Amino acid sequence: MKSKTASSGISRRALVSTIAALPVLSGTLFSTSASAQTATAGDPLPSWNDGASKQSIVNFVNAVTRAGSPDFVPVPERIATFDNDGTLWTEHPMYVQLVFALDRVKALAPQHPEWKDKQPFKAVLEGDMKTLADSGEHGLLELMMATHAGMTSDEFSKIVTDWFATARDQRFKRPYTELVYQPMLELLAYLRANGFKTFIVSGGGIEFMRPWSERVYGIPPEQVVGSSIKTRFEMRQGRPELFRLPEVNFIDDKAGKPVGINEFIGRRPIAAFGNSDGDLEMLQWTTMSGGVRLGLIVHHTDAEREYAYDRDTSFGRLDKALDAAAINKWTVVDMKKDWKVIFPSER
Amino acid sequence: MKSKTASSGISRRALVSTIAALPVLSGTLFSTSASAQTATAGDPLPSWNDGASKQSIVNFVNAVTRAGSPDFVPVPERIATFDNDGTLWTEHPMYVQLVFALDRVKALAPQHPEWKDKQPFKAVLEGDMKTLADSGEHGLLELMMATHAGMTSDEFSKIVTDWFATARDQRFKRPYTELVYQPMLELLAYLRANGFKTFIVSGGGIEFMRPWSERVYGIPPEQVVGSSIKTRFEMRQGRPELFRLPEVNFIDDKAGKPVGINEFIGRRPIAAFGNSDGDLEMLQWTTMSGGVRLGLIVHHTDAEREYAYDRDTSFGRLDKALDAAAINKWTVVDMKKDWKVIFPSER
């Protein structure tokens, strides 16, 4: 199974994003309640500049929530799915989960003297990112398994939590959970205030996100869909344990996103939010179903306040999905123009 | 992958239960709101006779919901998981999903003239249950794939819905969705009224249960965990579709139940409800975690009003889990003694 998995057509994008899924649990500026505070009186989206993007969101919500309207959608069917990396928080210059994996290799190196001479670990320990990138899919998979498997689920959750408590983004000098997008927090709260159930549907690791998704986004663990490795239940010394195995279970990216949505949620969303080609199929599945639907893409256009990238990036690439947006009338958010602030700290 | 799956150690119990997972959608006596109507004033569990079983449930709920108590559990962590077959509805003399599969073979037979001479289809068409049983795991898997795969998810949902509208249990002459246990409907409502989020965690097929779980149990599709086959996303003639493939994805039974709980819910339950050895690991995972927890087993002791079976049945066997109940102080419900009524129609 392992060799099958490693040799199958898992894209590097997916692997990198899978490698990259753990949580930040340190104290931050925003909490679950904070993310809801903007959804009450007045403008529910104060960090959004007036314009076509903001208007398309408000129009959609009004249409599906107006009783008696032909576009009305009952509350239980108001499902909204959000990609995470690049849609709800910063993914550049490297997926947060990949930063975590590299840090874990360094932390575990003393127990693995053989890594000094073994790629891709050698490259990580020497900070040789070029060689690491050249190790390709197989190298990244090895890195992921060495750092994400071989412990219980509870142990992994604690490792993730502890890491987020001290890890800081190099450019912004902040915990990663503070590098979430304030306008998207407002959007999450606005949708929930209108009866929507909000889900994360991310290529990132499901157990990397769950320890902090509720605190940061107001999204509880059971509403997080993501990539996963297999686990095995075992009674050990009279205690039930779930062990994380070095074997891919599910890659929740590209065509895997509708599959994951159907398996975990069992309903078709009426709104979906992404930022890259990895979200194309989720946006198609959501919006091409008849009825008034909302597809939205966060276009990273602000190199000064965050980053600017689309068709030419090696990951988080926005190319096919940008073309599809024009055809399907999806909202394309121009980060620079549409967002008054990027991060909660700017408020 | 197919051959690997067929030859791996999937138990017959699991296969039968997987085969057996579709919903009843006809009009019934009970609705979502009906299932909540008993949870208000007065006795929240009117169909339960006073005694140790009922008391253990009430004591548990009081302990974990009393603010300031050392046993208090915050609302978001009040997760309760329920097996379906034999725990929430009747599973004898045959899993409902297996009845569905047999009916589907008969319905599809005209399009498959080769089935007349091919086992296990021949046995099904001739009503030869002995030969069908002798076909074992492999035969049941073939049956499942022939009836559950080869269509889109939407199409399958409609097939399930249409089947439940007309199918009737032979003994009770009622739609299968009316053969749910009234005391368990009250228990679901009682837990929800006390801040619990209720989930189904069944060996049955996830897409067999979702079309009716909300109407019958008040449990929405996104809170149903079950066995599944793989699906593939495809754009066909410009429409996004999810195709059901003849390949097992996940068997949510026995040691698979804690795995499914962790993957789908991402939190450890504090209460779990089952009726067979297929629920043993879920009960262990739930109750052996420190803190006040509730494990409960429905023991089928009432041959007159429903069925009586435990250690000697070929499926729904309650043997190891009954021994474990005594050791772990799980509540064992004596259906005959503890339940005033079995089905909603008796009220």
Backbone angles phi, psi at A300, to 5 degrees: -80, 100
Query: Cβ contacts (< 8 Å) between B259 and chain A: which residues?
Result: 231-233, 242
* pLDDT band with cut points at 50, 70 and 90 for residue A39: very low
C-alpha–C-alpha distance, residues A218 and A200, integer Å: 11
Cβ of B224 within 8 Å of Cβ of A265? The answer is no
Q: Please tell me the distance in Å from A115's CA to the nearest CA on chain B.
A: 31
Residue at token pair 């927890």: B293
- In the predicted model, what is the mean pLDDT of residues B265-285? 98
C-alpha–C-alpha distance, residues B295 and B283, integer Å: 6
Question: Given phi > 0 = left and psi -120 to 50 = alpha, else beta, which region is B75?
Answer: alpha
Check: CB of residue B305 under 8 Å from CB of residue B114. no
Looking at residue B315, its pLDDT comes to 79
A160-177 pLDDT, tens digit per residue, is: 999 999 999 999 999 999
Q: What is the DSSP track for B239-283?
A: EEEEEEEEEEEE--STTHHHHHHHHHT-S--SEEEESSGGGHHHH
| 3-class secondary-structure state, position A59 | helix
Element (H, E) at B334: strand B331-334
Q: What is the DSSP track for A162-226?
A: HHHHH---TTT-S-GGG-B-HHHHHHHHHHHHTTPEEEEEEEEEHHHHHHHHHHHHS--GGGEEE
pLDDT of A269 strictly over 60: yes
Cβ of A221 within 8 Å of Cβ of B265? The answer is yes
- In the predicted model, what is the mean pLDDT of residues A58-84? 97
SS3 assignment for B24-90: CCCCCCCCHHHHHCCCCCCCCCCCECCCHHHHHHHHHHHHHHCCCCCCCCCHHHCEEEECCECCCEC
B218-274 pLDDT, tens digit per residue, is: 999 999 999 999 999 999 999 999 999 999 999 999 999 999 999 999 999 999 999
C-alpha–C-alpha distance, residues B230 and A266, integer Å: 14
| 3-class secondary-structure state, position A151 | coil
Q: Please tell me the distance in Å from A128's CA to the nearest CA on chain B.
A: 35
Cβ of B285 within 8 Å of Cβ of A232? The answer is no
Provide the β-strand partners of residue B271: B80, B294
pLDDT of B18 strictly over 50: no
Check: CB of residue B35 under 8 Å from CB of residue B217. yes
A319-331 pLDDT, tens digit per residue, is: 999 999 999 999 9
Provide the β-strand partners of residue A201: A225
Looking at residue B304, its pLDDT comes to 98
Give CA separation, A298 vs A273, A274, A301, A302, in Å.
Answer: 8, 6, 9, 11
Cβ of A242 within 8 Å of Cβ of B265? The answer is no
The predicted model scores a pTM of 0.89
B210 touches chain A (CB under 8 A): yes
* pLDDT band with cut points at 50, 70 and 90 for residue A208: very high
* pLDDT band with cut points at 50, 70 and 90 for residue A41: low
How many other β-carbons are positioned within 10 Å of the β-carbon of residue B139? 20
> Residue B142, class by beta-carbon neighbours within 10 Å (0-12 exposed, 13-18 middle, 19+ buried)?
middle
Looking at residue B41, its pLDDT comes to 62
- In the predicted model, what is the mean pLDDT of residues B296-305? 98
Query: Cβ contacts (< 8 Å) between B228 and chain A: which residues?
Result: 263
Give CA separation, B227 vs A167, B208, B224, in Å.
Answer: 38, 10, 10
| 3-class secondary-structure state, position B202 | strand
B154-198 pLDDT, tens digit per residue, is: 999 999 999 999 999 999 999 999 999 999 999 999 999 999 999
Residue B319 DSSP class: S
- In the predicted model, what is the mean pLDDT of residues A178-194? 98
Cβ of B288 within 8 Å of Cβ of A239? The answer is yes
Residue at token pair 């729904």: B316
For residue B255, give every residue at least 6 positions away whose Cβ sits within 8 Å of its Cβ, in sequence order, or none. A232, A233, A234, B281
| 3-class secondary-structure state, position A304 | coil
C-alpha–C-alpha distance, residues A193 and B13, integer Å: 44
A197 touches chain B (CB under 8 A): yes
Looking at residue B10, its pLDDT comes to 36
